[in-house]
A and B are shown apart, each in its own frame.
Chain A
Amino acid sequence: MQKNLILKTLFIIGILLIFVFGIFGIPSSFNLDGIKDSLLQRIHLGLDLKGGAHLILEVQVNEAVNGETDHAAELLKEQLQKANISYASISKPDLEKHPEQIVIKGVPPNGSTELRRIVSEQLPTYDLSGAGDTYTVTLKASAISELKSRTVEQSVEAISQRVNTLGVSEPVIEEHGVGNYQILVQLPGVDDLARVKEIIQSTARLELREALNHGATYPDEQSARAALGGVLPPDTVLLHGQKSVNDRTDSVFLVSRVPVVSGTDIKTAEAGHGGKTGGPIVNFYLTTSAGEKFARFTAAHSETSANPSNLAIVLDNQVIEAPSIQSEIHDSGIIEGGFTEQTAHDLALKLRSGALPASLRYIQETTVGPSLGADSIRKGVQAAVVGMLAVMVFMLFYYKGAGINADLALVLNLVILLGFMGFTGATLTLPGIAGVILTVGMGVDSNVLIFERIREELRHGKAPAAAVDQGFARAWVTIIDTHVTTIVSAFILFIFGTGPVKGFAVTLTFGLLANLFTAVFVSRVIFDAILSRKQRGEALSI
Chain B
Amino acid sequence: MEFFRDTNIDFLGKKWYFLAFSLIFSIAGLLSMFFWHGIPLGVEFRGGTLVYVRFASTPNEDQIRAALDRAGINNAQIQRYGTSGSNDELIDLPQSSNAGADVTRSEDQIIRALEAISGGQQDFRKDLNYAGSDALRTVLAGRDPLHAAPDTYDKITRQILDYRDSKQGGLIRSFDDLQKAGVPAAAVEALKQEGFFISNFHVFGQETVGPQIGAQLRKQALLATLYSMAGMLIYLWFRFEMIYGVAAVVACFHDTLITVGAFSLTNNPITLTVIAAILTLVGYSMNDTIVVFDRIRENVKLMRRETLAEVVNRSINQTLSRTILTSGLTFLTVLSLYLFGGEVLHGFSLALVIGILIGTYSSIAVAAPMLVAYQEWRTSRSGRRPVPVATQAGKGKVRVKA
Given contacts A369-B202, A371-B169, A379 and B342 within 8 Å (CB-CB):
yes
B161 interface residue (CB < 8 Å to A): yes
A113 interface residue (CB < 8 Å to B): no
Interface residues in B340-356 (C-beta closer than 8 Å to A)? 340-342, 344-345, 348-349, 352
Interface size on A, residues (CB 8 A): 84
A417 interface residue (CB < 8 Å to B): no
Partner of A498, one of B54, B164, B272, B329: B272
* Residues A485 and B210 in contact, CB atoms below 8 Å apart: no
* Residues A383 and B220 in contact, CB atoms below 8 Å apart: no
**Residue picked from B108, B216, B283, B325, most chain A C-beta under 10 Å:** B283
* Inter-chain contacts of A56 with B (CB < 8 A): 213
Interface residues in A488-539 (C-beta closer than 8 Å to B)? 488-490, 492-493, 495-498, 500-501, 504-505, 508
* Inter-chain contacts of A191 with B (CB < 8 A): 132-134, 161
Given contacts A363-B213, A364-B103, A449-B322, A493 and B333 within 8 Å (CB-CB):
no
Partner of A383, one of B54, B212, B280, B336: B336
Q: Tell me, in angstroms, the Cα distance from A449 to B324 when the chains sit together.
A: 11
* Inter-chain contacts of A193 with B (CB < 8 A): 132
The stretch of A99-107, A128-136, A248-256, A438-446 in contact with B is: A438-446
* Residues B280 and A482 in contact, CB atoms below 8 Å apart: no
* Residues B336 and A431 in contact, CB atoms below 8 Å apart: no
A 456-469 binary contact with B (CB < 8 Å = 1; else 0): 10000000000000
Q: Tell me, in angstroms, the Cα distance from A450 to B266 when the chains sit together.
A: 39
Given contacts A390-B332, A438-B330, A449-B291, A375 and B210 within 8 Å (CB-CB):
no
A409 to chain B: closest CB distance in Å?
14
* Residues A386 and B231 in contact, CB atoms below 8 Å apart: no
* Residues A375 and B169 in contact, CB atoms below 8 Å apart: yes
Q: Tell me, in angstroms, the Cα distance from A201 to B125 when the chains sit together.
A: 19
Partner of B326, one of A190, A445, A496, A500: A445
A76 to chain B: closest CB distance in Å?
31
B321 interface residue (CB < 8 Å to A): yes
* Inter-chain contacts of A177 with B (CB < 8 A): 216
* Residues A361 and B337 in contact, CB atoms below 8 Å apart: no
Given contacts A191-B132, A192-B134, A442 and B330 within 8 Å (CB-CB):
yes
The stretch of A23-31, A260-268, A391-399 in contact with B is: A391-399
7 other A-B residue contacts (CB within 8 Å) besides A177-B216, A441-B329, A497-B272? A194-B108, A361-B103, A382-B341, A431-B348, A442-B287, A485-B286, A487-B283
Binding site for A on B (CB under 8 A): 1-2, 44, 52, 54, 102-104, 107-108, 125, 131-135, 138, 161, 164-166, 168-170, 202-210, 212-213, 216, 220-221, 223-224, 227-228, 231-232, 235, 239, 272-273, 275-276, 279-280, 282-284, 286-287, 290-291, 294, 298, 318-319, 321-322, 325-326, 329-337, 339-342, 344-345, 348-349, 352
Binding site for B on A (CB under 8 A): 48, 51, 56, 58, 177, 180, 190-195, 197, 201, 342, 361-372, 374-376, 379-380, 382-384, 386-388, 390-391, 394-395, 397-400, 430-431, 434, 437-438, 440-442, 444-445, 448-449, 452, 455-456, 474, 477-478, 481-482, 484-490, 492-493, 495-498, 500-501, 504-505, 508
Q: Could you give 29 example pairs across A and B, Cβ below 8 Å? A: A58-B212, A191-B133, A192-B134, A195-B135, A362-B210, A369-B204, A370-B165, A371-B54, A371-B202, A372-B344, A387-B336, A395-B329, A398-B2, A434-B337, A434-B341, A434-B348, A445-B329, A445-B330, A448-B325, A456-B318, A488-B231, A489-B279, A489-B282, A492-B224, A492-B279, A497-B224, A501-B276, A504-B280, A505-B276
